[in-house]
Structure 1
Amino acid sequence: MDSEEQRDNQKMEKKIRELSSDEAPILTEKSGLREEEMAMKEKELLSVSSKSMGDEAPLLPNAQNCEQPSPSERKTERFTLEGGSPNASAQSLEEMEIKYAAYVRHDIYGTLGKGEVSWKEKALLLLALIVVVPIRVVVGFLILLTYYLICRLCTLFKAPNREDGQEDYAHMSGIRRSTIIICGRFLSRAMLFALGFYWIKEEYVIPDQSPNGLFVKDSSQIDADESSYRPGAIVSNHVSYLDILYHMSASFPSFVAKRSVARLPLVGLISKCLGCVYVQRESKASDFKGVSGVVTERLQAANHDKLSPMMMLFPEGTTTNGDFLLPFKTGAFLAKTPVLPVILRYRYQRFSPAWDTISGVRHVLLLLCQFVNYLEVTRLPVYCPSEKEKADPKLYANNVRKLMALEGNLTMSDIGLPEKRIYHAALHGNNQSSILHQKED
């Protein structure tokens, strides 16, 4: 039995040797191909594993790159994903300033208001902080308090209008309303004077021709019965929070404001007397008009009733450095009523009153430290829309924008608020010191 098994085993070994000798080249060739395939697979596996290890390295407790990115690095990374550069190099900064030119500051304090200044400028700042700023702060507070007390007295025992979530005294009539308007215009101009705007240059310009609409030479020439020519809104370019003070002193219109403004000390009651329309979350009530609906009603009311206050609207939706005009939103033109275009320009030598790329506190402080501020106003005639413009609010808005850009010598830009946020994220996410040095150069 054992011998038979041995013979069988010997036969099997012989056949295996014969097969191996006959197919050796084929096996060798196949094995070579397999080795190459295995080598390639090993390389792919190594590359994939190295990538995965690189991606997961911050999560490993013993990895070298286990530190979490700082907030500035996260902002830089977010800006890089949106098309920006992670390094604030001279080239990338120049590219940003060209692309976002409408938001670039050009005064001596730099983009963020933190640039290096000369010793002469430092001496002027110190002198202003000691002498000018305390006087302006005290005078400004007294003006604000005085007007608050006037508004409190005029609204005494008078309930505000409450409709569609709004609360205001815009339609209050008689001696109360007249007192609020007269005192408001006078004290607004007094506030501008306290801030260094001693002279305001106003110019009335009659354009040679309008894009499509009909011009009325001056709003003061409109008769009480000519409601078709009475403006429902003042439309203006937006440069600074100071714009509101000027328009209050000139026309005392109503504004669109955040709901939180109504709860501010002193300012809250004043905003209600102005008749501000407050932006709030949309209500689910079936009769809720929304901010757009309330604004449209206000514009139509001002157009038909000379006692109703006009609305002051900034159709750009955000501020610029004052040299550009952004695309207009259609909110001011949906009511199909005439508008009064006004163009503001802040001339400066040291500090620009334009509110861009700089914090509010720093901006107010540097503004108070400026001995003299300048404002130039260009008033255009009332713009009455054509039938074609009434049917197309975008056309109406674009034609008014082109007219304002032409008469105000402003450059039209196609960017808007999203681009402004990207630019601000880039400035605050990149190396700020290199940005400031570049600005000074």
Structure 2
Amino acid sequence: MKIYLENENKRKIAYDILNIFLDHEEINFIRDEMLAEIRIKNDLVNISGRDFFYTSNQELKVILYDFLAEKTGYKSPWGTLTGSKPSKLLKNKSLEEIKNIYKLSDEKLGLLGKTYENQSRLDICLDDFSLYINIPFCPTRCDYCSYPTLIGAHHDKGTYVDYLIREIEGVNLLEKLDSIYIGGGTPSYLTDTQIEKILAGINKKFSYKEFTFEAGREDTLDGEKLEILKAGGVSRISLNPQTFNREVLKKLNRDINMDHFLDIYKQTKDLGLLVNMDFIVGLEGESADDFSKNFTILKDLLPDNITFHALAIKAGSKYNEKGKTGQREDSLKIAENVGEFTGKNGYEPYYLYRQKNIISNLENVGYQRNNTAQRYNVIINEEIGSIIGLGMNANSKMISGKKFRNPRNLRDYYQDFEKNLDAKNELIKEIRR
């Protein structure tokens, strides 16, 4: 579809709506107004010879949305809403107002309302700090991944751990934290000794309400590591299969040994740890019928938390390089099935966010059973607490809105270590004033 813009500042607004209905390669912004099917000017939109006047960006979005919905026969369940954190709208608008302004479906409106209700039950203090520690190592790179991870066993993980310990010791945080999250990458790719060393450094300095360790791949776990995590104060781990469909996983450049996965899951629960699991909706090659097999297994396991992520194609990923778009039609059916599965099995939504280029204009939703919501997820997604990031590429974000990101590569992380540590400590000092 060819689109002409009189004002380039309207490009993102237009693209966000067009991207709900069209793949990226179908959207073509051109300079020749006469060849365009849609002409967007400062106060009107001309579509196939008809003029539609608007006075706000939201009105412009509605005009484009209504045209494309009629043209394609598809109505997005989130309507014109494309922002990453829909729950923020509830600070100033009622659910009914949101429905009318943004054309939300009753299903998504109910999901938004229930998520907000469950978040409101958590006792989270805006003045508290949380800690994120990045472990940037992975056995392989998955095709959907765009993070600056270091792949393979040849990297010097020991030196990295030593720097992390220095950063833990040097950061001027108060003893009591709300949450700690060790993510990556694949933190469980470290050795037993390296994990023990990090946990000991944390426990020597901090106390906390919640401690999550990301152990996304079963091929990096065994009973000994699980015992170390439990002894080190970890309260929950993330086992993230993304799907149990082995053929799909192989095409993503990762694999799964289901017998080992199930054994690890049982050992984790026997140790009394809470379990989070992540799944991706819309992966290439996984139809709605294929995805339904995940529900069969999940019904037997019933992990404490499950997050269903709608696929988002990101720059830097193999998916993006190969021009993959995911299973657009199937993703809508899968999303319906997610709602049915969670409702029947005692899960309730507790955090929700959306991403750029998310498939079928869907969402990422974290579900909990038995009031086991993960505090860190709510804090980071709703921006209701300050988070200090340690390690390569780790992002610190203050409740004031100020941010600081550590270098995206090991060389600069090591070389500029003291300077970056001082910068984070200055941010912490500002918050305490």
TM range, smaller chain: under 0.3
Q: Please report the TM-score for the alignment, with normalisation by the length of structure 1.
A: 0.25
The structure richer in strand per residue is 2
Normalized against structure 2, the TM-score is what?
Answer: 0.25
Which structure has the bigger radius of gyration? 1
